[in-house]
Amino acid sequence: MYAILFVATISGCHSEENAEKKKSETTPAADPVTNVFLLKKGRLSSTLQIPGELVPYQQVDLYAKVNSFVKKLYVDVGSEVKEGELLATMDDPELGSQLESAESAVKSREAIYLASKANYDRLVETSKTPGTISPNDLEQAVARKNSDYAQLQAAQSAQREISQTENYLQIRAPFGGVITARNVNPGAYVGPSGKGSEFPLFNLQEQKKLRLVLSVPEAYTSYLNQKMR
C-alpha cells in the first residue's frame, strides 16, 4: 500500500511540472525596455578636483651688496613697507677711507690738468707771433694736456664707483610688501650671499596680490593653454 502511494505522489509532481512548462511556452515573452534620449551637439567636458596653494605674487631675499656691519634696522617681521623705503643702514669704515682717497686723487689730477691746460693756452697765444714757438713744443703741450685730462677722468670714474658702492650701504625695498623674516641684529657682520651672510637680511613678500599654484596631472595638460584663467 505504501508503494502505491509513493508512485502516485511522483506522478502528481510530474504532472504539475509539465503544466507549468506548457504554460511558459504558450505565454509570449515581454519586450526588453530601451532607454532613449535626444542627441545634442555640444562640447565634451570633465571635472577635476586638485589641491592648490596660494603663494606671494613676488618675493625676494635681501642681502648686503658689500661686506659691512649692520648699523641700524628700521623694520621688523610683519612690517609693511613701500617701494624704495629704507630698511637698514650698514657701516664700512674701509669704504669711507677709500672714498676720501679717491676724492683727494680727483683734486690732485684736476690741479695737474688745469696747469697743463693753462700752459697750452699760453703757448697757443704766443705761437700767434711767428717764430716764437716751434710746432714741436705746441704738439707736446697738446699731448700733455690730453694725457692729464684722461687721468682726471679716470680718477673721477674711480670716485663715482666708490660713491655708488657707498650707496649699497643702504638697504631699500625693491617693491612694496611685508617683511616676513629678519635674520640680523645691529652690529652683525653681513655681506653678499655665501661671502658674508649665510642667511638673508630680510625676506620681502608682496601679499596684496597672490598666485594660485596647482599641480595638474600630466594626463590633463593637453587641455590647458596660456589664456585659461
Q: What is the CATH number of the domain that holds 123?
A: 1.10.287
Closest CA to 96 of 71, 131, 72, 59: 71
Residue 59: Cβ-neighbour burial (10 angstroms; 0-12, 13-18, 19+): middle
To the question of pTM greater than 0.85 for the whole model, the response is no
CA distances from 199 to 56, 58, 170 (A): 20, 19, 18
For residue 186, pLDDT beyond 70: yes
Q: Same domain, yes or no, for 81 and 184? A: yes
Identify any residues that bridge with 180 across adjacent strands, giving them in sequence order.
Answer: none
Same structural domain, 191 and 229: yes
Beta pairing partners, 89? 72, 170
Tell me, yes or no, whether 132 and 106 share the same domain: yes
227 has pLDDT over 90: no
Vertex 136, ends 135 and 142: CA angle to 5°? 90
Average pLDDT, the chain: 81
Distance CA 73, CA 27 (A): 98
pLDDT at res. 198: 79
Angstrom distance (rounded) from CA 29 to CA 51: 54
Q: In this structure, what are the phi and psi dihedrals at residue 221, rounded to the nearest 5 degrees?
A: -65, -25
Q: What is the residue range of 151's domain?
A: 93-168
User: Tell me: the pLDDT tens digits for 77-121?
Assistant: 999 999 999 999 999 888 878 888 888 999 999 999 999 999 888
Average pLDDT value for residue range 206-221: 85
